[in-house]
Structure 1
Amino acid sequence: MTNLLINGFVTLFVIIDPLGLVPVFLALTPGARAAHRRGIALRASLIAGVILSLFGLAGLSVLQALGITLGAFRVAGGIFLFWIAFELVFEKRGERKQKNAEEATAEEEEGHDIAAFPLAIPLMAGPGAITAVILLSGSLPTLAGQVGLILVIAAALGLSFAILTLGHAIDRFLGPTSRMVVSRLLGVVLAALAVQFVADGARELFTPAQSRAALSDTSPF
């Protein structure tokens, strides 16, 4: 279970991509004081935590109610996470985040809370992160596993909150080139994890059928 939790943490952290969120976060809070930025980052992390926890605890039940097997969801989710990894490696995701930031800046003038949109949704608790927690939840069906899932979500968002809080210092230290290199490396890691999800899902989907075929071949009838 420890290995699953570590893989889950790495997957969720890479998908949230707090280092990639730093320039977007700074663009959303121009001229804000450090305390104000910290409050926005805290609210966004808490909202994202609630959303991801709900999907992590109840998402699998919804899939079962719809007749979707965990193997099928692993394959679909792995393909989706691979696309996110592709965006990270080829710097496509940053463009989309910047577009969301610009839209949110325009809406903020009308009184919208940027902590909820776009920071919490969809930048932190987006479809990729939701898919990741449901996949992790399916691998941790026990009570201890579900508690571990919540701790993984809290750890990933807690680290994301810390990075956003220190956004100015991190942005000056890394610079655009270092951020790009780190994002691409994390994208490669996520791609490998996504392929593993697809492989596990395919094994779960096709192994039962192969077993039944083997039994029928050995059956005397």
Structure 2
Amino acid sequence: MDLLKPLIALLAIVNPIGAVPFFLALTQGMTSLQRRRTLRVASFSAFCVIAVSAVAGLHIIHFFGISIASFQVGGGVLLLLSALHMLNAQPAESKKDDVDEGHAKADAGDSVAVVPLTIPLLTGPATISTMVIYAEKTKTLLEHAVLVGYGVVIGIATFLAFMAAGRIAKVLGSTGINVMTRLMGLILAAMAVELLADGLIKLFPVLSAPLPR
């Protein structure tokens, strides 16, 4: 297994820089201490979602009797939808209704660090699907540990992006963030097509047969 592909896919899906505007909006009115606690909780929560998906995600789909090929096709579709949202400079795994719902839950007492920052703005179905698909491809315990380690990388990337949120917003501006989001969306779309093709070939082996001359 190419160990770089999962990390590239995760960085494209999670896209911490693209979530910076939402972090700034959701933490308006907070003190600096509250904002730092929020970014710490969000970073740790993102790691937890990725780590649990890598360790237990495969067992969960087996429990429900879902084949990995079917999951690959479904995950590929989710990734492609996320990529299309990103190409339109929208959050990869959320819609406006998700953000509004997140605000409502936050008002009810839930931490914005978990909802909606971590779920669904940072991690969501596409992230979980990606980790399960790549976990199935691991052949050694070391490769599996590397996948969990990528959760640490994503957590650190999220922490650094949110820590520098104010400076990033000033340097990139809304146009720069939109460009970054679209670029990651293009990369993610290519990976989604690859996952879809791999899953469809497993479900329908005839697709891999050479064409008659």
Above 0.5 in TM-score?
yes
- Please give the residue correspondences for 1:25-174 in structure 2 after superposition, counting only pairs within 5 Å: 25-93=23-91, 96=94, 99-174=97-172
- Evaluate the alpha carbon distance shift between residue 116 and residue 210 of structure 1 in structure 2; reply closer, same or farther with a 3 A threshold: closer
Answer whether contact 2:53 2:132 (CA < 8 A) is retained: yes
CA apart distance, 1:99: 4.6
CA apart distance, 1:12: 0.9
1:13 aligns with 2:11: yes
Secondary structure of residue in 1 paired with 2:204: helix
Answer whether contact 2:73 2:200 (CA < 8 A) is retained: yes
Moved more, 40-49 or 78-87: 40-49
Which structure would you say has the larger Rg? 1
Residue in structure 2 matched with residue 215 of structure 1 by the alignment = none
Q: Alignment length, in residue pairs? A: 209
Distance in 2 between the 1:13 and 1:166 partners? 17
Distance in 1 between the 2:113 and 2:48 partners? 13
Answer whether contact 2:19 2:91 (CA < 8 A) is retained: no
Q: Percent identity?
A: 32
Residue by residue over 1:49-88, the C-alpha shift from the partner in whole angstroms, topping out at 9 and shown as x without a partner, is 2222112211112222332221221111111100100010
Distance in 2 between the 1:68 and 1:134 partners? 12
CA apart distance, 1:145: 1.4
CA apart distance, 1:209: 9.4
Distance in 2 between the 1:208 and 1:178 partners? 44
Distance in 1 between the 2:76 and 2:182 partners? 18
Which has the larger share of helix?
A: 1
C-alpha RMSD over aligned residues: 2.3
Paired letter, 2:151: I
- Evaluate the alpha carbon distance shift between residue 18 and residue 61 of structure 1 in structure 2; reply closer, same or farther with a 3 A threshold: same
Residue in structure 1 matched with residue 177 of structure 2 by the alignment = 179
- Evaluate the alpha carbon distance shift between residue 98 and residue 208 of structure 1 in structure 2; reply closer, same or farther with a 3 A threshold: closer
- Evaluate the alpha carbon distance shift between residue 94 and residue 8 of structure 1 in structure 2; reply closer, same or farther with a 3 A threshold: closer
Answer whether contact 2:93 2:122 (CA < 8 A) is retained: no
Distance in 1 between the 2:177 and 2:120 partners? 21
User: What are structure 2's unaligned runs of at least 5 residues?
Assistant: none
Answer whether contact 1:9 1:152 (CA < 8 A) is retained: yes
Paired letter, 1:22: V
Paired letter, 1:127: P
User: What are structure 1's unaligned runs of at least 5 residues?
Assistant: 212-221
Answer whether contact 1:27 1:101 (CA < 8 A) is retained: no
Secondary structure of residue in 2 paired with 1:68: coil
Q: TM-score, normalised by structure 2?
A: 0.88
